[in-house]
Amino acid sequence: MNTIPNLSKACLVLSVLAVRREGVSLLELSQTLKIPRTTTFRILNTFCEHGLVAKEEGNYVTGPELARIGLLSLSGMEIRDHAQPLLAALARDTGETAHLAIPSEQASLILEVCDSPNPLRAASRAGTLADLHASSTGKVFLAFMDEEERETLLKSLALDQRTKNTITTVAALREECEKVRKQGYGIDDEEYFIGIRCLAAPVRNMYGKVIASIGITGTANRFVALRNEEVAQLVLQAASGLSRKLGYTVKSPG
């Protein structure tokens, strides 16, 4: 069997830490798993560097990044199951490729894709990470996140120029976020790839927090700007449907 011995040992370390909430010492881990102390120390240091493990009062415990990955995995499975029929209907009704994305640190992660029924189609594959500032789903995540969180993120976000249409200044991106909030959806107007346009809308959980985005991707000669409102209504409808499946309800004013 082709395995990496030290990686297998690292997996064992995480398995022990996951069930020992009070934490485990370096010596105890080494003795319990029968892994040399120096190897155990290097594994733990590597995990600490990536936030998977943390050190508290001399003991090692699971870190925040491991919890985040676990939550993303669980929510990803749930969202995928609920989203698939909605994406299929969206692809059929718009004639374009439909996709589901979730925020992943400084990027938008494509979770699921339903291809366009047209022979000429455009889309990123599941697992693709897209820049926040140049993608329609990324703009949605930026626009609907907490203002303080967004401002902190904007200070470190690399605004790489993908095409001549890409937004490359923080000021312009702030304006774009305001536009997205007002209209309720985000657009990538040939900002990531020339000849490709995308439109996406927010998906909310039961607490009203935007946790995902549903969008469509099409060629610019077929998905023209004149179709924005028509397509937006279909995308918003799909995003709203997924939000309801996740427990979100719109409260009546007053």
Over range 182-200, report the average pLDDT. Answer: 97
User: Which domains does the chain carry?
Assistant: 5-62 (1.10.10.10), 68-245 (3.30.450.40)
Give the per-residue pLDDT at 242: 95
What rounded mean pLDDT belongs to the chain? 89
Q: Token pair for residue 27?
A: 């010596």
Strand order in the sheet with 129-131: 129-131, 107-114, 97-104, 210-219, 196-204, 186-189
Judged against a pLDDT cut of 90, whether residue 99 lies above it is answered with yes
Q: Where does the pLDDT of residue 136 fall: very low under 50, low under 70, confident under 90, or very high at 90 and above?
A: very high
Over range 206-229, report the average pLDDT. Answer: 93
Collapsing DSSP to helix, strand or coil, 35 comes out as coil
CA dihedral (222, 223, 227, 230) in degrees, to 10, reads: 110
Query: How many other CB atoms are found less than 10 A from the CB of residue 148?
Result: 8
Q: Are 206 and 239 in contact (CB under 8 A)?
A: no
Tell me: the pLDDT tens digits for 223-243? 999 999 999 999 999 999 999
Residues 6+ apart with CB under 8 A from 123: 97, 99, 113, 115, 116, 217
The phi and psi torsions of 34 (rounded to 5 degrees) equal: 55, 45
Judged against a pLDDT cut of 80, whether residue 73 lies above it is answered with no
Q: Where does the pLDDT of residue 78 fall: very low under 50, low under 70, confident under 90, or very high at 90 and above?
A: confident
Judged against a pLDDT cut of 60, whether residue 253 lies above it is answered with no
Q: Where does the pLDDT of residue 16 fall: very low under 50, low under 70, confident under 90, or very high at 90 and above?
A: confident
- Whether this prediction's pTM lies above 0.75 is answered by no
Give the span between the Cα atoms of 162 and 227, in whole angstroms: 24
Give the per-residue pLDDT at 23: 86
Contacts 24+ apart (CB under 8 A), 146-151: 150/177
Give the per-residue pLDDT at 3: 73
Judged against a pLDDT cut of 70, whether residue 94 lies above it is answered with yes
Contacts 24+ apart (CB under 8 A), 24-30: 24/59, 24/60, 24/61, 25/58, 25/59, 25/60, 26/60, 29/60
Judged against a pLDDT cut of 50, whether residue 254 lies above it is answered with no
Give the span between the Cα atoms of 139 and 143, in whole angstroms: 6
Over range 4-10, report the average pLDDT. Answer: 84
**Where does residue 73 fall: left (phi above 0), alpha (psi -120 to 50 degrees), or beta otherwise?**
alpha
